[in-house]
Amino acid sequence: MSTRANPLWLKLLTPKAQLESAFEITPAWLADRNLRGLALDIDNTLAPTHLPGNEAQIRAWLEPLHQAKIPIRVVSNGHSNRILGFCQLFKLEFVGISGLRMAGKPIPNAFRRACRELGLPADQIAMVGDQIFTDVLGANLTGMYTVLVKPLSEKSMPHTKLIRNLEKLVLARLEHEKM
Ligand SMILES: [Mg+2]
């Protein structure tokens, strides 16, 4: 263990858990961590941005969560028509910042609203996403339990490639801090 305390910026960028995929999350996984609600990113977390077609996988994953009565909110920065269509398809509720059909991550407003709507303390809600600088940062600022997953699609927009490289630097630093 490093004897040096982590700087605040690194703490804010550090996920509580890292998983290969959001689809590993089950009611039992949540219960083991005293988590009672879910906030979800969509693009590259549940659905690859450029490829449709994992509807069956998403439905199969959601079913036991619904059965366990885990309340869910979608917190996405994605294009609003695409995300609203996704939410309708799976009967999920979307949370945006007031008056807008977007979440504005990492600004904490939509995360706070998700917590209010779910009616749970922030630390009992898992925010699941694939990006450190939006999903993890915003949810950590809100006090949620942050889960970083590997992006479903490797194909990224140019601006995302820069972010991915910055994320690699942060993840390498986190690995280094563990040693
Ligand atoms: Mg994403």
Lowest mean pLDDT among 53-57, 80-84, 111-115: 80-84
How many Cα neighbours within 13 Å face the side chain of 66? 10
pLDDT digits (tens, 9 = 90+) for 90-100: 999 999 876 67
Domains of the chain by residue range = 8-48+69-178
CA of 111 to the centre of ligand 1 (A): 15
CA of 178 to the centre of ligand 1 (A): 26
Count of C-beta atoms within a 10 Å radius of residue 50 = 13
Give the CATH number of domain 8-48+69-178.
3.40.50.1000
34: left (phi over 0), alpha (psi -120 to 50) or beta: left
pLDDT digits (tens, 9 = 90+) for 34-74: 999 999 999 999 998 765 679 999 999 999 999 999 999 99
Element (H, E) at 167: helix 158-178
CA of 120 to the centre of ligand 1 (A): 23
Position 3 pLDDT exceeds 60: no
Position 161 pLDDT exceeds 90: no
